[in-house]
């Protein structure tokens, strides 16, 4: 410990993911322009109550509400455009504090 006292601390290696610095206004524009999300915008306009997944819009941003078998409240998920999906998963998987979790825990983290 005495030897380490005189040495400078090593800086942490923090993973940075370029392209995730998107503000709300820009995110809304990108979400509406993404053709892969077109059907979900339509489902949000004409909601269907009998499925497990329901789509809705709040503050101009599209969300998905998923209600599982054992889940009464449901899980609210942000709908992410196609070009950001891999980056979001990478953020949940590759960051310093994420650890090496299994696929289920990583998806829950997302």
pLDDT (tens, 9 = 90+) of the chain, 110 residues, equals 566 677 777 776 666 677 777 888 988 999 999 999 999 999 898 877 666 678 999 999 999 988 777 767 778 888 999 988 888 877 777 666 556 566 666 666 65
Task: Give yes or no for a contact between 42 and 58, defined as CB atoms under 8 angstroms apart.
Answer: no
Task: Give a yes or no: residue 110 inside a domain.
Answer: no
Task: Give yes or no for a contact between 63 and 56, defined as CB atoms under 8 angstroms apart.
Answer: yes
Structural domain boundaries enclosing 42? 13-81
Per the DSSP assignment, residues forming a β-bridge with 75 are 66
pLDDT of residue 101: 64
If you ran DSSP here, which 8-state letter would residue 10 be given?
A: P
The answer to pTM > 0.75 is no
How buried is residue 62: exposed, middle or buried, by Cβ count under 10 Å (0-12/13-18/19+)?
Answer: buried
Task: Give yes or no for a contact between 20 and 95, defined as CB atoms under 8 angstroms apart.
Answer: no
pLDDT of residue 38: 93
- CA 58 – CA 52 distance, rounded (Å): 19
pLDDT of residue 41: 92
How many structural domains compose the chain? 1
Task: Give a yes or no: residue 89 inside a domain.
Answer: no
Selection from 107, 102, 89, 106 nearest residue 15 by Cα:
89
Q: Where are the alpha helices (DSSP H) in 6-81?
A: 24-33, 38-45
Task: Give a yes or no: residue 29 inside a domain.
Answer: yes
If you ran DSSP here, which 8-state letter would residue 35 be given?
A: G
């Amino acid at each position: 410990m005495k030897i380490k006292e005189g040495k400078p601390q090593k800086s942490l290696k923090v993973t940075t993911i370029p392209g995730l610095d998107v503000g709300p206004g820009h995110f809304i524009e990108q979400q509406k322009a993404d053709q892969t999300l077109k059907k979900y915008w339509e489902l949000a306009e004409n909601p269907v109550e009998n499925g497990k997944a329901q789509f809705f819009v709040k503050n101009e941003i599209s969300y998905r509400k998923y209600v599982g078998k054992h889940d009464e409240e449901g899980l609210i998920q942000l709908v992410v455009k196609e070009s950001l999906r891999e980056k979001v998963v990478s953020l949940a998987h590759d960051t310093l504090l994420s650890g090496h979790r299994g696929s289920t825990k990583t998806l829950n983290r997302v």
